[in-house]
Chain A
Amino acid sequence: MAAIRPDDWNLPLFLHLLGAMVTVGALVTAAYYLFAARRTGSLDMVRTGFRTLLWVALPAFVVLRVAAQWLLDKEGLEDSEDAWIGIGFTATDIGVLFLIIATVLTGLAVRRAGRAQAGAQAPGTVGTGTTVAAWLTGVLIVAYTVAIWAMATKPV
């Protein structure tokens, strides 16, 4: 591969890989905290899951997606109908919706908990939103594992 890849593809490929790896690392970390929060009722864990999604997964996702487009342009594959490119687009374009929904749901859960504490109310459970966010994050991990397989094996 190195022998046939032009040098000017390397930077977008590096950024694409780095963005993808940080995104997946952040999703697994967030999933751990959100599922643990469901089990323990810990709002600190919901907050850590929310921050991981907002500050790590979303920015890394932007790097992954922009670099992917840059790479496609370099390779002249913008109009390709190869299966591996389709899998990549599906995982990222639908996946970003899941990512945004999970981030918003956990953000709302953290905000509600803050208001409950400010009003001296019982904080209660971590909420349905956290559960939904945890499962959405889990689905994203599976989808991105399939995308990694597609990028490595490049089925047509």
Chain B
Amino acid sequence: MYDTLLFLHLLGAFVTFITVVVFPAYAVGIAPSKGSFALGDWAWNVSGVLLLVFGVWLALYVDGYELWDGWILGAIVLLGIATAFGARARDEVLAQLGEGGEPTAAMVNTWHWLRTASVVAILVLMVWKPGA
């Protein structure tokens, strides 16, 4: 049971990095397409579900972990912050796709790298588990 939960949680983390890799392409001048945007958007939504559902399940299942442990709460808060940053990057790309306007690569870049920094910070918490 533990192995399956860990695998599905870990799979969610890997799927997150599809979004992390898709978005920087827009920042280096590659025009967003509906397909690539859908891939990045889909990956973020699926990974969010996998991370939260199986992460919380793991915290409840494993003796010695509690949902209110600092590193687990910190990761959940950071996931919320990453989602907020990602929503801003998403809005920038959607504006380009919908209106056909000039690319705002700098804004996509800024919001996306803030999201990426939050995701990497979650990984740091998951590996070092401060306070566990």
Which residues from chain A sit less than 8 Å from chain B, CB to CB? 2-3, 10, 13-14, 17-18, 20-22, 24-26, 28-29, 32-33, 36, 44, 48, 52, 56, 145, 148-149, 151-154
Q: Which residues of B contact A29 (CB under 8 A)?
A: 18, 21-22, 25, 36, 39
Tell me, in angstroms, the Cα distance from A153 to B9 when the chains sit together. Answer: 12
CB < 8 Å neighbour of A18 from B10, B25, B31, B123: B123
Q: Which residues of B contact A148 (CB under 8 A)?
A: 7, 10-11, 14
Tell me, in angstroms, the Cα distance from A22 to B116 when the chains sit together. Answer: 11
Contact with A along B1-41 (1 / 0, CB 8 A): 00110110011011011111110010000110101100100
Would you call B14 and A48 a contact (CB within 8 A)? no
Given contacts A18-B123, A32-B39, A52-B21, contact A25 B14 (CB under 8 A): yes
Given contacts A24-B14, A25-B14, A32-B39, contact A14 B21 (CB under 8 A): no
Chain B: which residue is nearest A45 at the CB level?
Answer: B33
Q: Which residues of A contact B123 (CB under 8 A)?
A: 14, 17-18, 21
Would you call B120 and A28 a contact (CB within 8 A)? no
The count of chain B contact residues (Cβ–Cβ below 8 Å) is 31
Given contacts A33-B36, A52-B25, contact A22 B7 (CB under 8 A): no
Chain B: which residue is nearest A17 at the CB level?
Answer: B123
Would you call B128 and A48 a contact (CB within 8 A)? no
Chain B: which residue is nearest A3 at the CB level?
Answer: B64
In addition to A24-B18, A25-B17, 15 A-B residue pairs with Cβ atoms within 8 Å of each other are: A10-B127, A13-B127, A14-B128, A22-B17, A22-B20, A24-B17, A25-B21, A28-B39, A29-B25, A33-B36, A36-B35, A44-B30, A48-B25, A149-B7, A152-B6
Would you call B30 and A48 a contact (CB within 8 A)? yes
Q: Which residues of B contact A33 (CB under 8 A)?
A: 36
Would you call B30 and A18 a contact (CB within 8 A)? no
Q: Which residues of A contact B30 (CB under 8 A)?
A: 44, 48
Interface residues of B, dominant DSSP: helix
Q: Which residues of A contact B36 (CB under 8 A)?
A: 29, 32-33, 36
Given contacts A56-B21, A148-B7, contact A20 B14 (CB under 8 A): yes
Q: How far is the CB of B48 from chain A (nearest CB, A)?
A: 15
Q: How far is the CB of A111 from chain B (nearest CB, A)?
A: 19
Chain B: which residue is nearest A7 at the CB level?
Answer: B128
What are some 13 contacts across the A-B interface (CB < 8 A)? A2-B129, A14-B128, A17-B127, A21-B13, A21-B17, A22-B20, A28-B18, A28-B21, A32-B22, A33-B36, A148-B14, A152-B3, A153-B7
Would you call A10 and B17 a contact (CB within 8 A)? no
Does residue B124 face the partner (Cβ distance < 8 Å to A)? yes
Q: How far is the CB of A136 from chain B (nearest CB, A)?
A: 18
